[in-house]
């Protein structure tokens, strides 16, 4: 018995490919392929490319060619656990339509790499943490927590879809609400997905979930081997695993009868994938929840403006946790850095606070969102900055190892002995970074044990866990780092958080810069005083800025009142949709011409009522990795007809302009 099988493949072509499947005549009907099956097929020179079956029909055994095209045979049929059907197939169709992609390019989201790979070793892949966590017993929920759980329970009981936004201040017990809701789903025989922004940075959360639900929980993320990911995928499909925990990729796990999706720290931009397919896991989670008639709970101390507007407009139910558990929110002191008098980036107020905190036997977190020893290396005589030869940006000076490094393309070189422009022999390291902060701390507090958490110290596998575990166990007194230190950590002994440059992100050329700054400042401040009174110090050159004042007061409503009307007046999300077209290439003139022609074509076809086309204009970083960059912004809601046209336009444009790449980003979270 033969079948003609239509398959979509992970290639940028909006078409299906026909293959031949020879079924064993002695086998039962189950061996026949059906839509939703995952298969491996030869494609071009590759022997095994994973694809999704979207259509089948019977084929005479002697037919080897269709419409003049020779049929190749399906190489492998993956087990039933890898089928993409039901709610997962409907989600795949939505992703392809909404993000203007061929269906084949979203299919890899729904299966592990190298599906069917056998894992080494045995046992459950439970959500492991670098240190154990004992689940507290007999927890009494506050009234606010109880209301949140009851709201979710009502939706679960009705087996309907509902979206809940849990706005709780840092340390208000959001995790306990999540765990109670998952318990309700499990009691009803339903499954759950718990999304985290970055799995490597949330070991305590993973440990707590595993402590509560035991071997019914498994983590899935890119740091696992292909074999382990396949095993978790198969266990979830069989119902052996009921709770899957992880970052974006966990959303697509084949959890049976999915009843709850938790999106912890829902405001985090890491939920948006920055490479194709450029989807947002928060948006996709809402669609999967709708398709499963499930509860979707989004939680944050600093909700994304889009989520809050959805709640205020009645699309989400808004639930508040206004009080911290066990202690008050930390007091925040805003220290004015204008006028000088600061020693190596530390004001006297911060230096005194660090000393006082250490004397009391408590821990300190210092936040500075810059890596390296100095942002740039500048000639003392002529003032020229050493630039990256591949990007329009200065290289960062690192001491350990001593080198110049571009943080965008990875270019590295030795520190020059003389200025390449004027020949002078002296350089001035300009600006600071976490490496310099660490050295200054060692000089000022020689007895303190210091750890640094940034991209440079976490290159090795497991280094995040090692550093965070050491700090959590009290093996260090000070943790200095980039925004990694701001995300979801619970360190009971931290008595002081210092932000060295609170206004650092306010001037970035991005309409979300104020929102991101408020979120980061609020989140990092929330690491202080989790069990007893704590302090926070914001050092800034803009002490009167409304964003800094709102973060210092832990006042989300003040930030919302200031930011919402500005976004609305400018027509930016959440009051309008945004789509970014990026045009890149190695020849500046060629790229500029291509961007101009693309903008003209878009204006001619899409510039209707409610749609505004901006650009083309050079990107924020006009050249990265030897490629010149222009961008076009489309403001306004595009329907299916407009998206179909745009998808076809981009495909034909790529064929017409060789050497120029075009990428599109629906609902971008960054303008860089």
Which range, of 128-132, 430-434, 494-498, 539-543, averages the lowest pLDDT? 128-132
C-alpha closest to that of 223 among 201, 192, 199? 199
Instruction: Tokens for 116, please give them.
Output: 């069917």
Q: Please give the pLDDT value at position 202.
A: 61
- The more confidently predicted of residues 307 and 133 is 307
Strand duo 396-398 + 295-300: pairing? unpaired
Burial of 624 (0-12, 13-18, 19+ CB in 10 A): buried
Q: What is the mean pLDDT of residues 74-95?
A: 97
Mean pLDDT of 383-397: 83
423 — pLDDT class (breaks 50, 70, 90): confident
Q: What is residue 401's three-state secondary structure?
A: coil
Residue 128 confidence (pLDDT): 45
Kind plus residue range of the DSSP H or E element containing 560? helix 556-570
Backbone phi, then psi, for 259, in 5-degree steps?
Answer: -110, -25
- Averaged pLDDT of the chain: 90
Strands 450-453 and 478-481: parallel
Q: 126-140, 600-614, 632-646, 653-667: which has the minimum mean pLDDT?
A: 126-140
Give the C-alpha separation, 616 to 517, whole Å. Answer: 28
Share of the chain above pLDDT 90, in %: 67
Q: What is the dihedral of CA 270, 275, 281, 284, to 10 degrees?
A: 160
pLDDT of residue 250: 96
- What span, in angstroms and rounded, lies between the C-alpha atoms of 527 and 330? 9
What the block records as the tokens of 351 is 């230096």
Cα-to-chain-centroid distance, residue 598: 30
Q: Which structure tokens are listed for 153?
A: 């329970």
Peptide bond just before 401 cis, omega within 30 deg = yes
Give the model's confidence band at 124: pLDDT under 50 very low, under 70 low, under 90 confident, else very high.
Answer: very low
- Positive or negative, the Cα torsion across 90, 96, 98, 99? positive
Tell whether the model's pLDDT for residue 129 goes beyond 50.
no
Which pLDDT score is estimated for 166? 98
Residue whose pair of structure tokens reads 């002296």 in the numeric block: 426
Tens digit of each residue's pLDDT (9 = 90 or more) over 288-304: 999 999 999 999 999 99
Structure tokens that stand for 406 in this block: 């571009």
Q: What is the mean pLDDT of residues 596-609?
A: 91
3-state secondary structure 500-525: CCCCCCCCCCCCCHHHHHHHHHHHHH
pLDDT for residue 167 is more than 60: yes
Residue 100 is given by DSSP the state T
Burial class (CB in 10 A: 0-12, 13-18, 19+), 542: middle
pLDDT at 201: 61
Summarize the confidence of residues 455-467 as an average pLDDT.
82
In this structure, the chain runs to a length of 672
The 8-class DSSP code of residue 240 comes to S
**Each residue's pLDDT tens digit, 30-80:** 678 999 999 999 999 999 999 999 999 998 888 888 888 899 999 999 999
Confidence of residue 169 (pLDDT cuts 50, 70, 90): very high
pLDDT at residue 631 greater than cutoff 50 = yes
User: Per-residue confidence at 383, pLDDT binned at 50, 70, 90?
Assistant: confident
What's the pLDDT score for residue 110? 98
Q: How far lies 660's CA from each of 295, 495, 656, in Å?
A: 44, 53, 9
Identify the residue whose tokens are 């994973």.
50
pLDDT of residue 203: 62
**CA–CA gap between residue 328 and residue 579 (Å, rounded):** 42
Residues 377, 398: Cα–Cα separation, whole Å: 10
From the candidate CATH numbers 3.40.80.10, 3.40.50.300, 3.30.43.10, 2.60.40.420, the one assigned to the domain spanning 331-372+432-567 = 3.40.50.300
What is the C-alpha separation between 181 and 174, in angstroms, rounded?
A: 11
pLDDT score at 295? 98
Tokens of 156: 């679960």
Q: What share of the chain is helix, strand, coil (3-state, %, to 5)?
A: 35, 25, 40
CB 52 within 8 Å of CB 32? no
Token pair 């318990």 is found at 183
Helix orientation angle between 588-606 and 640-656, rounded to the nearest 10 degrees? 150
Secondary-structure class of domain 2-85+96-110 per CATH: alpha beta
> What is the CATH architecture assignment of 143-321?
3-Layer(aba) Sandwich (3.40)
For residue 198, pLDDT over 60 is answered with: yes
Assess whether pLDDT exceeds 50 at residue 125: no
Query: Given this model, what pLDDT does residue 617 score?
Result: 94
User: Quick one: fold of 578-666?
Assistant: Alpha-Beta Plaits (3.30.70)
Q: Quick check: 132 pLDDT over 60? A: no
Position 614 pLDDT exceeds 70: yes
Sheet containing 627-635: order of strands = 612-624, 627-635, 578-585, 660-666
Distance of CA 236 to the CA centre of its chain: 23
In this prediction, residue 126 carries a pLDDT of: 45
**Residue that is written with structure tokens 């006042």 in the block:** 555
Instruction: Please tell me if the domain spanning 143-321 has the same topology as the one spanning 578-666.
Output: no
**Would you say residue 653 has pLDDT above 50?**
yes
Could you report the per-residue pLDDT of 310-329, keeping only the tens digit for each?
999 999 999 999 999 888 99
Report the run of H or E that residue 196 belongs to, with start and end: none
Q: In the predicted model, what is the mean pLDDT of residues 531-560?
A: 95
Q: Which residue has the tokens 């925004």?
A: 483
Show the tokens assigned to 17. 């490919």
Whether the per-residue pLDDT at 453 is higher than 60: the answer is yes
pLDDT at 98 over 90: yes
Give residue 406's pLDDT: 84
Q: Phi first, then psi: give them for residue 185, nearest 5 degrees.
A: -65, -45
Are the CB atoms for 455 and 405 separated by under 8 Å? no
More confidently predicted of 527 and 420? 527
Judged against a pLDDT cut of 50, whether residue 130 lies above it is answered with no
C-alpha distances (whole Å) from 130 to each of 119, 133, 203, 237, 279 are: 21, 10, 7, 27, 30
Q: Which residues pair with 578 in a beta bridge?
A: 635
pLDDT single digits (tens) 333-373: 999 988 776 667 789 999 999 999 999 999 999 999 887 66
Q: 424 and 418 in contact (C-beta within 8 Å)?
A: yes
pLDDT tens for 617-627 read: 999 889 999 99
Q: Give the least confident one: 74-78, 354-358, 398-402, 557-561.
A: 398-402
Report which of 229, 306, 299, 251 is spatially closest to residue 95, judged by C-alpha positions: 251
Chain segment 224-254, per-residue pLDDT in tens: 899 999 999 999 999 999 999 999 999 999 9
User: Which pLDDT band holds residue 519 (cuts at 50, 70, 90)?
Assistant: very high
Q: What is the pLDDT of residue 421?
A: 79
- Domain borders along the chain are 2-85+96-110, 143-321, 331-372+432-567, 578-666
Would you state the pLDDT for residue 656?
A: 80
Whether the per-residue pLDDT at 554 is higher than 80: the answer is yes
pLDDT surpassing 50 at residue 127 = no
Cα(21)–Cα(12) distance, rounded to whole angstroms?
24
233: which 2 tokens?
């995928």
């Amino acid at each position: 018995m033969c079948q003609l099988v239509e398959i979509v493949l992970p290639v940028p072509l909006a078409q299906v490919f026909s293959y031949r499947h020879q079924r064993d005549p002695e086998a039962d009907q189950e061996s026949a392929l059906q839509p939703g099956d995952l298969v491996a097929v030869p494609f071009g020179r590759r022997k095994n490319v994973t694809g999704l079956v979207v259509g089948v029909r019977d084929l005479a055994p002697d037919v080897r060619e269709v419409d003049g095209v020779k049929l190749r045979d399906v190489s492998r049929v993956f087990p039933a656990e890898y089928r993409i059907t039901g709610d997962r197939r409907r989600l795949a169709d939505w992703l392809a339509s909404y993000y203007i992609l061929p269906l084949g390019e979203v299919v890899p989201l729904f299966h592990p790499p190298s599906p069917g790979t056998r894992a080494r070793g045995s046992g459950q892949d439970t959500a492991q943490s670098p240190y154990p966590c004992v689940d507290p017993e007999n927890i009494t929920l506050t009234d606010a927590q109880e209301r949140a759980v009851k709201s979710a329970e009502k939706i679960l009981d009705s087996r309907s879809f509902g979206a809940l936004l849990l706005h709780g201040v840092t340390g208000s017990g959001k995790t306990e609400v999540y765990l109670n809701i998952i318990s309700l789903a499990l009691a009803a025989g339903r499954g759950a997905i718990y999304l985290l922004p970055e799995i490597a940075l949330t070991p305590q959360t993973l440990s707590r979930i595993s402590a509560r639900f035991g071997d019914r929980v498994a983590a899935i993320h890119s740091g696992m081997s292909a074999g382990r990911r396949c095993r978790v995928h198969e266990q979830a499909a069989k119902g052996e695993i009921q709770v899957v925990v992880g970052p974006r990729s966990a959303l697509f796990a084949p959890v049976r009868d999915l009843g709850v999706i938790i999106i912890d720290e829902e405001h985090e931009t890491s939920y948006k994938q920055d490479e194709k397919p450029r989807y947002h896991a928060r948006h996709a989670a809402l669609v999967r929840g709708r398709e499963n008639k499930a509860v979707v709970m989004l939680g944050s101390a600093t909700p994304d403006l889009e989520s809050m507007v959805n709640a205020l407009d009645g699309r989400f139910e808004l639930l508040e946790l206004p009080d911290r558990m066990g202690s008050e929110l930390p007091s925040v002191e805003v220290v004015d850095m204008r006028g000088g008098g600061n020693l190596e980036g530390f004001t006297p107020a911060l230096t005194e606070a660090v000393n006082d905190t250490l004397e009391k036997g408590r821990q300190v977190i210092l936040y500075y969102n810059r890596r390296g020893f100095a942002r740039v290396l500048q000639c003392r005589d002529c003032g020229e900055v050493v630039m990256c030869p591949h990007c329009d940006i200065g290289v960062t000076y690192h001491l350990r190892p001593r080198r110049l490094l571009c943080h965008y393309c990875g270019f590295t070189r030795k520190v020059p002995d003389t200025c390449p422009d004027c020949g002078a022999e002296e350089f001035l390291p300009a600006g600071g970074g976490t490496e310099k902060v660490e050295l200054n701390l060692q000089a000022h507090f020689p007895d303190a044990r210091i750890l640094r958490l940034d991209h440079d110290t976490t290159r090795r596998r497991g280094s995040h866990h090692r550093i965070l575990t050491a700090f959590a166990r009290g093996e260090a007194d000070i943790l200095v780092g980039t925004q990694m230190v701001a995300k979801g950590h619970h360190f009971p002994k931290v008595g002081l958080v210092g932000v060295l440059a609170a206004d650092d992100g306010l001037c970035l050329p991005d309409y979300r810069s104020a929102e991101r700054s408020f979120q980061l400042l609020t989140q990092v401040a929330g690491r202080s005083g989790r069990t007893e009174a704590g302090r926070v110090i914001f050092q800034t050159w803009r002490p009167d800025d409304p964003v800094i004042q709102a973060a210092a007061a832990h006042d989300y409503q003040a930030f919302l009142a200031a930011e919402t009307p500005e976004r609305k007046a400018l027509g930016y999300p959440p009051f309008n949709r945004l789509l970014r077209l990026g045009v890149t290439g190695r020849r500046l003139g060629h790229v500029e011409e291509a961007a101009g022609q693309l903008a003209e074509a878009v204006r001619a076809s899409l510039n209707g009522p409610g749609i505004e086309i901006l650009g083309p204009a050079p990107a924020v970083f006009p050249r990265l990795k030897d490629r010149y960059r222009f961008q076009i912004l489309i403001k306004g809601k595009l329907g299916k007809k407009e998206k179909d046209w745009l998808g076809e336009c981009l495909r034909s444009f790529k064929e017409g302009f060789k050497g120029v790449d075009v990428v599109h980003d629906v609902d971008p979270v960054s303008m860089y």
